[in-house]
């Protein structure tokens, strides 16, 4: 069931609302929050791909993208 597998997502949040309010809405929409990075306005957490569309609709959410690996250059 591809839509049900939990993955890590990076949520970019604007500063139009207090980030705590956006985080509350993200949690309610099914994001299992792991980090809230206030300086950069980023929330990371796990959710199933099915939930991601709900996350994108929350006020203040600019973007939801999958986490990806990085390496030393």
Partner 1 sequence: MAKRIRSSGTPKLSALHISATPDELLLSALKQGGDTTKTGRSLVTFKEGAAEAGMKALRTRHGLRVASARDFIKQAVSFERTGDAEALVFPEIGVAVVSGEAAKTRSMTMGLVAAADNPVGSIDPEYFMFATDVNPDDYLRGVLRATQMIMADLGQAEKELEHPDVVAEVAGATWGLNACKVPPSTKNGTGIKVAILDTGFDLGHPEFAGRSFVTNTFVGQPVDDLNGHGTHTAGTACGPQSPAGPVQRYGIGFRTQIFIGKVLTNAGGGTQAGVLAGMNWAIANRCAVISMSLGADGVPPQPSYTQAGARALAAGCLIIAASGNASNRPAMIAPAGSPANSPTIVSVGAVDSALRIANFSSGGKVDIAGPGVNVFSSWPRPRVHNTISGTSMATPHVSGCAALWAQTSSTLRGPALRAKLIATAKHLPLPPTDVGAGLVQAP
Query: Which residues contact partner 1 (rule: CB under 8 A)?
Result: 8, 10, 12, 34-35, 37-42, 44, 62-63, 65, 67-73
CB 15 to partner 1: min, Å: 9
**Cβ nearer to partner 1, comparing 10 with 29:** 10
Give the C-alpha separation, 54 to 29, whole Å.
6
Q: Is the Cβ–Cβ distance between 19 and 41 less than 8 Å? A: yes
**Cβ nearer to partner 1, comparing 41 with 49:** 41
């Amino acid at each position: 069931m591809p839509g049900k597998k939990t993955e890590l997502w990076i949520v970019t949040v604007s500063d139009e609302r207090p980030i705590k309010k956006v985080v509350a809405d993200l949690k309610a929409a099914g994001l299992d929050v792991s980090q809230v990075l206030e300086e950069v306005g980023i929330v990371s957490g796990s959710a199933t791909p099915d939930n991601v569309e709900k996350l994108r609709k929350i006020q203040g959410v600019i973007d939801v993208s999958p986490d990806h690996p990085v390496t030393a250059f």
